[in-house]
Amino acid sequence: MAQTINEQYRGSLTALVTPMAKDGSLDEQAAIRLIERQIQGGTTGLIPAGTTGESPTLTHLEHGRVVELCVKAAAGRAFVMAGAGSNCTSEAVGMARHAHEVGADGLLVVVPYYNKPTQEGLYRHFMTIADATPLPLWLYCIPGRSVVDLTPETVGRLAQHPNIVGTKDATANLTRPIAVRRAAGAEFNQLSGEDGSILSFLAAGGHGCISVTSNIVPDLCSQMHNLWQEGKVAEAIALQDRLTPLHDALFSETSPGPAKYALSRLGLCEATLRLPLVEPGEATKKRVDDALRGLGVLD
């Protein structure tokens, strides 16, 4: 029997950073190494070219290349949910179609940023993208970056489309998974976009987390989800407590700056960002270093 969406898309998923060389160009070899490390660490899903992957500063050609590279490197060992978000609907449709062409398993589409659409505009935006390919689509709600919220009522309307199967919720509102379940049904897949509140999100009915922290410690993030799924709640909470200083450090400045710095400290990629993002300040670097040492992954 085929797995349901909620059985397949659960646990620890990673919003991948996009490694860049010191000159700002894509570092494809580093990307492949990071993807391999994710799979070996137990990550169930990979999200390339999302906002953690600095999608706003990738060219269209680079965006497509990042997705294609991830599909090839994963080689079916983890599902690939390609970032396909834009504040231009036709652009997002193009990204979605490319992701389908190169073999991605699903789409993550962020609420359009800056142009502040109404709920009706959001509904039409997502429906248009969902109509463009047969891929399952996740709605990404992150008001802190997009300004506009995607309400549970609109999610419920969108869930009537057979291709719209879930959400990534980065509101940090722990009543949201309950409201979305009531509006969209129990089979609608709910993934958290907030590392710090993941166990609370799961307790409210969520299914997994699209994580930034799992870029750094994929094995520990995967282990925490496994403990939760096995009913070992106290052990999962204890591990979440250990991870919390790293969660906090990685979001003490604009992401993915601290995450890329952490990866550079582990010798996994350069800390390079593209403007307007800049390297974290010294206080943030120290906070990241302290969190990594606390987890025993940095000498």
Q: Which residues are catalytic?
A: 140, 168
**C-alpha span between 43 and 57 (Å, rounded):** 26
> How many separate helices (H) and strands (E) can be counted in the chain?
13, 8
State the helix-helix crossing angle for 218-229 and 233-250, rounded to 10 degrees.
150
Can you say how many angstroms the Cα of residue 175 is from the centroid of all Cα atoms in its chain? 20
Peptide bond into 136 cis (omega under 30): no
The H or E element containing residue 109 is: strand 106-110
**C-alpha span between 34 and 123 (Å, rounded):** 35
Structure tokens at 84: 């396909």
- Asked whether 146 and 112 are in contact (CB, 8 A), the reply is yes
Phi first, then psi, for residue 106 (nearest 5°) are -165, 180
**C-alpha span between 167 and 153 (Å, rounded):** 13
Structure tokens at 108: 């993550």
Give the number of other Cβ atoms within 10 Å of residue 76's Cβ.
9
Residue 210: closest CA among 58, 26, 85: 85
**C-alpha span between 34 and 16 (Å, rounded):** 9
Alpha helices in 87-118 (DSSP H): 89-101
Structure tokens at 230: 């096995």
Give the position of tokens 């270093």: 289
